[in-house]
């Protein structure tokens, strides 16, 4: 009886710790991954007219993906040089694998030539993301 109680307490402590860690990491802007060849579905959605394209990696039944879109789409609409696309990888997991995406939503900020600037796992925080992107949104010369 006492052993079962200790197992229950240890399990609850581990679950609370894991939940706290996930909450802290959710929506945090992280440095870009090393350069790699982008899969065709990603290069096809890059906007050459925008300084930055936010590629949101989503799946069909991902509830947080809808929240991420609700943050990113209006942010892109009101920010010059910023474009947002949602890429559903439900039927093409190889795209997520080639981008080293382990969870959805993941948002990757890319330049028109496909260089990764940063990425966000989970639902992004709009103001924090915009602050991180500001240096890349300066007027481009063609």
pLDDT tens for the 142 residues of the chain, in order: 678 778 888 888 888 877 777 676 677 777 777 767 899 999 999 999 999 999 999 999 999 999 999 999 999 999 999 999 999 999 999 999 999 999 999 999 999 999 999 999 999 999 999 999 999 987 443 3
Cα–Cα dist 87/134, whole Å: 23
| Among candidate residues 92, 102, 99, the one with its CA nearest the CA of residue 55 | 99
- Is the distance from CB of 56 to CB of 107 less than 8 angstroms? yes
Cα–Cα dist 9/134, whole Å: 46
């Amino acid at each position: 009886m006492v052993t079962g109680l200790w197992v229950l307490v240890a399990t609850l402590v581990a679950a609370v710790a894991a939940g706290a860690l996930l909450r802290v990491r959710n929506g945090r802007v992280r440095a870009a991954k090393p350069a790699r060849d982008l899969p065709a579905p990603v290069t096809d959605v890059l906007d050459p007219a925008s300084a930055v394209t936010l590629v949101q990696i989503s799946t069909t039944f991902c509830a947080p993906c809808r929240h991420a879109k609700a943050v990113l789409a209006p942010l892109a609409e009101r920010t010059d040089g910023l474009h947002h696309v949602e890429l559903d990888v439900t039927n093409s997991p190889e795209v997520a694998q080639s981008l080293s995406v382990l969870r959805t939503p993941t948002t990757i900020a890319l330049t028109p030539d496909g260089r990764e600037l940063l990425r966000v796992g989970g639902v992004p925080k709009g103001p924090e993301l915009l602050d991180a992107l500001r240096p890349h949104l300066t007027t481009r010369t063609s």
